[in-house]
Amino acid sequence: MAARYDRAITVFSPDGHLFQVEYAQEAVKKGSTAVGIRGKDIVVLGVEKKSVAKLQEERTVRKICALDDHVCMAFAGLTADARIVINRARVECQSHRLTVEDPVTVEYITRHIATLKQRYTQSNGRRPFGISALIVGFDCDGTPRLYQTDPSGTYHAWKANAIGRSAKTVREFLEKNYTEESIATDNESIKLAIKALLEVVQSGGKNIELAVIRRNQSLKLLESKEIETLVTEIEKEKEEEAEKKKQKKST
C-alpha cells in the first residue's frame, strides 16, 4: 500500500499519512542526539559529537548555531538541510530587526522556521527538510524559551526535550529528573543536560558539545575542559548516591 503513496510529497495516503514527511522524521531519528533544557536563568543545548576522522579538523562541524545574539538552535538530521534552514532563520532575524526595530522573540523565529518547513511539505518538486530543530533563547522580557520543530512544520514549546537517535530514552530520563530542584541553579541545569546525554553517548565527556545562553548574554560554547570537570562531578555524585544506597541496604 505504502509504495503507491510515498513517492510524491503532495499526495496523501488513504489512511491520512504524508509518507514523505514520515520518512523525513525517520531521517531525523538517525541523526546524533541533541538535548535542550530550559532553566530559570539559563537555557542549555547539548549535542552528541560524532567521532571525527583522524585527518579531519574538528571545528568545521558545529551542530549548535547562533541565530542572533539571544537565540540559538541545535538540530538532528541532515546537516546540509540544516545549513539552509539556519541561513534563512538568520536572515529573518535581521529582517525582523530592520522592519520592527526589535529583536525576534523565540516564538516568532520558531514559527518562521516551522512555516518554512511546512511550505516544503506542500509544494511540488520539493522534499521536506530532514531535520528537527531545538530552538532556545530569551525573549526581550527575560523569559527563557525552548521550542522544538519537526519536518512536518509543527512546533511546540517544551521545558526539556531531546531529538535524534535514542531521543525516547533521553526524554524518559528527563521526565523523571526534570524537577524544580534540578534546574534551581545554572550549574544544575547544565549538569542535567550532561546527565541526559550520558545516558546515550558512549564514551563520556569527550563526545559531548554543550552551549548555554544566559539572560542578556550571548551564546557560549563550553570548552571541553569545563565539560570534563562537570562530568567528573557527576560521576562523583553518582558514586556517592550508590554508596548511600549500599549503606541503606546494609542497615
Partner 1 sequence: MALASVLQSESVDFSNYGRQRHGFASGLYEAELGLESVGGDRLSFALSTSCSNEDGPDRKIEFLHGTTTLAFKFQHGVIVAVDSRATAGSYIASQTVKKVIEINPYLLGTMAGGAADCSFWERLLARQCRVYELRNKERISVAAASKLLANMVYQYKGMGLSMGTMVCGWDKTGPGLYYVDSEGNRVCGDLFAVGSGSMYAYGIVDSGLKQKDLTVEEACDLGRRAIYQATYRDAYSGGQVNLYHVHSEGWTRVSQSDVLMLHQQYQAEKA
Judged by beta carbon, residue 82 or residue 89, the one nearer partner 1 is 89
Least distance to partner 1 from the beta carbon of 100, Å?
4
What's the Cα-to-Cα distance from 127 to each of 117, 152, 155, 174, 245, rounded to whole Å? 10, 11, 19, 32, 52
Nearest approach in angstroms of CB 103 to partner 1 is 12
DSSP state of 236: H
Say if residue 28 is exposed, middle or buried (CB neighbours under 10 Å; 0-12, 13-18, 19+): buried
Give the nearer residue to partner 1 in terms of CB position, either 105 or 189.
105
Task: Judge whether 123 and 10 are in contact, CB under 8 Å.
Answer: yes
By beta-carbon proximity to partner 1, the closer residue of 64 and 67 is 67
All residues at 6 or more sequence positions from 79 whose CB lies less than 8 Å from its CB, including other chains: 61, 63
Q: How far is the CB of 143 from partner 1 (least distance, A)?
A: 13
**Smaller CB separation from partner 1, 34 or 135:** 135
In whole angstroms, give the CA distance from residue 28 to residue 82: 11
The residue ranges that bind partner 1 (CB under 8 A) are 99-102, 105, 108, 111
Pairing of the two strands 64-68 and 42-48: unpaired
Closest approach, Cβ 140 to partner 1, in A, equals 9
Positive or negative, the CA dihedral 151, 138, 87, 53 is negative
Q: Rank residues 128 and 137 by Cβ distance to partner 1 and give the closer one.
A: 137
* Residue 110 Cβ vs partner 1, minimum distance, rounded to whole Å: 12
